[in-house]
Amino acid sequence: MNAGEIQKKHKEFVYKGFDYKTVGTDLKIWFNFSINPDLKFTTEIIIKNIEKSELKDIDNLVFHLGLIEMLNYWKLTCSPIIKIEAGNLDKQQITFLKRIIINGMGQYFYENKIDFRKPKFLEIIVNKNKPQFKPLEKKLNNKRVLVPIGGGKDAPVTLKMLDKQKKNIGSFVLNAIKPQKDIIRIARLKENIFIERKLDSKLFALNKKGLLNGHVPFSAFLSFLSILLAEIFDYGTIAFSWEKSADEGNVKYQGKWINHQWSKSSEFEKMMQNYAKKYLLKNIKIYSPLRKLSEIEIIKKFAGLKQYHPFFLSCNNAYKTKNASKRWCGKCAKCLFVFSALYAFVEKKDMIKIFGKNLFEDKKLVPLMEQLIGEKAFKPFECVGTISESKKIIKSCIEKERHNLPIVLKKISETIKR
């Protein structure tokens, strides 16, 4: 079945409800969703090592986390009606949620050939019998800063910048694997929050059976999760590692720029901050210390943080494997971009230690590099720098080598000269 046929068969998606309770020192949260006529799903989230006394008035924050979690299941069918039985929203909140869906799932619409501009594409129905949640006015500790750790190059730069400002830094990690644990260990942070998230196994089975799949705005999920954590663990500030290059789109579709990194963009950051203060936690601050920095500026800073070089991992393919301690795949746009960016600032022998090989010697990567610099198709759907940044980076790499260019640099230098 194509997307249109799936939408006709599954017309209604329902956010049924949420629940939570403490089990020992853990907080367990459940979200229940359904897709008519007969599909049901449950997500479980476990937040480790909490104090029961810290759990006051979190219903609104848990409910909102479910609004973003539901997109993992809604994407199976792209149902034209989303019914939110779990709670109530006003018109501005519904508009906010639609903006996240339309902008944050642009890549999903593009790859599944879904017409998101058609009339009545999406209707969101809320439960008006439930009272609307009020934002919490709790005074949070403004000296404490919470930093999400993804395992890549950006978080260490954020941590270093905050450390220079003498901030009291804590971290949180979702489904922790070795690179994230290594970064936490090296940073020597005093408080680290660990969260486990278990998606319903039926989701993956239905993907294999032919229902829809695709990119969801993961950073939006992390934003709502971080606000819940800030309330529980008393953090007045949340510092993400979102850079300036996240504002550039990838490709135009139906007259709109599709941006793989939209939920890391300055547009999302501003709307998230405003929404959080109005509807969630009045005294929370959400921002990115990296917002004004280009990828080149960030990579320069990271090049000096040599203690992280043997451990960081930005390759999404490696994270998708069951053994996520696996290193760089060496085949994807993310690997090629990070390799290229670091190449100008790090010794070649050290680069090979990090990546396992010299990616510039793999001629199969030439078409991918041509995409990164805007010479072919469009910028890959990955968290990579702007086309302009990639051009500057590759020119720096060519200048560094000058003679005996490896095959990728040789081919790209010929392309640039044309």
d(CA 223, CA 171): 13
List C-alpha distances in Å: 5 to 41, 56, 79, 241: 21, 45, 11, 39
Handedness of CA 122, 12, 85, 200 (dihedral sign): negative
Taking only the tens place, the pLDDT of each residue in 368-412 is 999 999 999 999 999 999 999 999 999 999 999 888 899 999 999
d(CA 171, CA 189): 7
Helix runs in 190-347, H state only: 201-208, 218-233, 266-275, 295-303, 316-320, 333-343
* Residue 307 CA, distance from chain mean position: 25
* Residue 316 CA, distance from chain mean position: 11
CB 48 within 8 A of CB 202: no
d(CA 366, CA 408): 5
d(CA 356, CA 98): 43
Q: What is the pLDDT of residue 98?
A: 98
Name the percent of the chain lying above pLDDT 90: 91
Q: Which amino acid is at 136?
A: L
Residues contacting residue 123 through CB under 8 Å, at least 6 positions apart: 80, 81, 82
pLDDT > 80? residue 52:
no
d(CA 66, CA 367): 40
d(CA 42, CA 70): 10
Q: What is the pTM of this model?
A: 0.96
Q: What is the pLDDT of residue 362?
A: 97
Q: What is the pLDDT of residue 102?
A: 98
Taking only the tens place, the pLDDT of each residue in 137-158 is 989 999 999 999 999 999 999 9
Q: Kindly report the average pLDDT of the chain as a whole number.
A: 95
pLDDT > 60? residue 325:
no
d(CA 173, CA 186): 15
Handedness of CA 273, 275, 276, 278 (dihedral sign): positive
